[in-house]
Structure 1
């Protein structure tokens, strides 16, 4: 467990390349020592393989590759064929995956340039369960791409460059939320707005059954947003919304949500926002070093417990068949309006002040 905690959090106090140099030094120091000391070298080599295996595409640079291939050549010359074969295979795997991996930023659309490209899609005609499944499939694909070290580094650096997959996942959450708000508000007739509002309520029920807390919270943040919440909705809709809000009630440090997550078995997609919040509090509230200058590993242990729980959900994925026709209706959640535009629509429906326009709904 100590080794797992170390591998999960070491980037918070040493760079991967400095760690590799130290492991190489330790391996060479004990590799030609007594038989008893050679066990230390073998353990160091195993740790080195783990570190190499978990390097990101950017971290597996030319210098690191050359160091590892130099060690492969050295091991071959010494007759350590098994160690050389294991290391060579791992380096080749990392280099090949780097060549084929797409740029995570190439397809991203940021909220700084949000415009409504087309009219709302016809996703209303699909079953709520099917919509929830396809939302979950899209979420799961992005969630599985997140590397654990991206999450630990975000609390400290908040760098999109260092955490590209995490950035893409959180951007997807924001786009989905604004897409939902846009779907509800961009209708002239009150009865049409109510149809979409109630449709999202039903979708949330299925997302909860699928343990997809990410899309669940994205939709909840939409239907409970101020431009939508301020309008006059049927009582049954508001009561249903109140029930959903209880799960993410912030009282007691989100006790209800934490309890639900603890009782959930994979597959599951947790709400990444709370994970980042917890890691940020730990980072701010604890010193990196102890008074004697040594690493404050108690801080890293707290971080590890949070990240290891997230890793637990990454080990199991959903068995959902992809429905391209339905996914195309989402249009990558790109068709959404800005917060300012949504407020303008909301105030047009229900003006501020005394001249309020009461909405009429069909029974």
Structure 2
């Protein structure tokens, strides 16, 4: 889902070959494939039901590794959140060539650089740099963990000698799309789009087991927060999707249709208790590059203006986000919460309450920290594929420039 080309693979530790039955070569091949599929399905289902055990028990991790021996399982990080997963990570060089390395999900900057150095066979002392689409450079520290998961939506990892740092320039594909995708999704049902966004958010959110690590300090647990990082990046991606589509729509009437479409999708997200995508869409519509398009907003039907005003009022941060909290009290849980505010609340609860009282765990504190979640259950292949591969422009300056081309400043 991220901009960096990544895949996740289980590391096989031994080999086992089942005896093939007699028959034609095709029959033996089908038997072997089905056998592998059954073994892999069993292991993954077991792993998904034993997530927390797997994180803490070496014996459980060993069992899973053996179960998946001689099988290669590519999946996104959020599909199964256990520590045996490693990442195949693309790291670019200053000349825009790249190499692919294989490191643990929680790999440090030092380990990534070490893997790149070994792969390239170089003796140069390399820096690991996060390069944004706007050309901003962030030198990652040797002890930074899960360096890939903290990249921006169109960010890339570069490894280069220090004397080439100033020469680093963004890759062409970091600019994002040059044309909108409205033709792909305008005929898709707004309700189906919202359902698939909720499904995707559920998959991501249900694997965010690091909330306590984030709240109590991951350095205290020596754990990565990679799943949380990816979920937060998805929130930003949905925001940018809205802004990108509007700013790449050159026809006024089509832009009005887009605003109506996004308002409908947001309404359905709220209906499905997916407040995370709901807020992402509304915040995208509130982006200055969109909100300044007065000609577009003027032509929006009054009914939709009213809906948008109601939705936007829920983002009012005054009185500790009172409007949002009142809305939540009216929704029967479980829900997918607005993650940035959830993290803020969890940190506040942690810092304002003792973890232990009279040498006993403060369970009231732990219960108040644990969030409610929901699990939708619809599927549609075309819509599902679209919402999981949103292409965005993440450079605010570029989006603003596009906005002014659509509607120049009035004199």
Normalised to the residue count of structure 1, the TM-score between the two structures is: 0.62
Equivalent residue in structure 2 for 1:110, among 141, 152, 167: 152
Greater RCO (Cα-Cα under 8 Å, separation 6 or more): 1
CA RMSD of aligned residues (A): 3.5
- Name the counterpart of 1:258: 325
Deviations 1:92-150 (A, max 9, x none): 46986858757577799633535323532210111111111111111111111111xx1
1:346 aligns with 2:403: yes
Work out which of the two has the higher radius of gyration on C-alpha atoms and give 1 or 2.
1
SS class of match (1:177): helix
1:265/1:344 Cα in 2 relative to 1: closer, same or farther (>3 Å)? same
Contact 2:150 2:229 (8 Å CA) reproduced: no
1:99/1:256 Cα in 2 relative to 1: closer, same or farther (>3 Å)? closer
1:253/1:305 Cα in 2 relative to 1: closer, same or farther (>3 Å)? farther
SS class of match (1:198): helix
Distance, in Å, in 2 between the alignment partners of 1:191 and 1:157 is 49
SS class of match (1:345): helix
Deviation at 1:192, TM superposition (A): 1.6
- Name the counterpart of 2:207: 145
1:335 aligns with 2:392: yes
Deviation at 1:152, TM superposition (A): 2.0
- Name the counterpart of 2:282: 220
Aligned length: 264
1:269 aligns with 2:336: yes
1:94/1:307 Cα in 2 relative to 1: closer, same or farther (>3 Å)? farther
Deviation at 1:194, TM superposition (A): 1.3
1:295/1:351 Cα in 2 relative to 1: closer, same or farther (>3 Å)? farther
Greater share of strand: 2
Distance, in Å, in 2 between the alignment partners of 1:285 and 1:56 is 31
1:134/1:112 Cα in 2 relative to 1: closer, same or farther (>3 Å)? closer
Deviation at 1:272, TM superposition (A): 1.1
1:324 aligns with 2:381: yes
Greater share of helix: 1
Equivalent residue in structure 2 for 1:249, among 286, 292, 316: 316
1:123 aligns with 2:185: yes
1:337/1:194 Cα in 2 relative to 1: closer, same or farther (>3 Å)? farther
Distance, in Å, in 1 between the alignment partners of 2:387 and 2:194 is 12
Unaligned runs of 5+ in 1: 1-51, 70-88, 356-363
1:125/1:108 Cα in 2 relative to 1: closer, same or farther (>3 Å)? farther
SS class of match (1:333): coil
Distance, in Å, in 2 between the alignment partners of 1:153 and 1:254 is 25
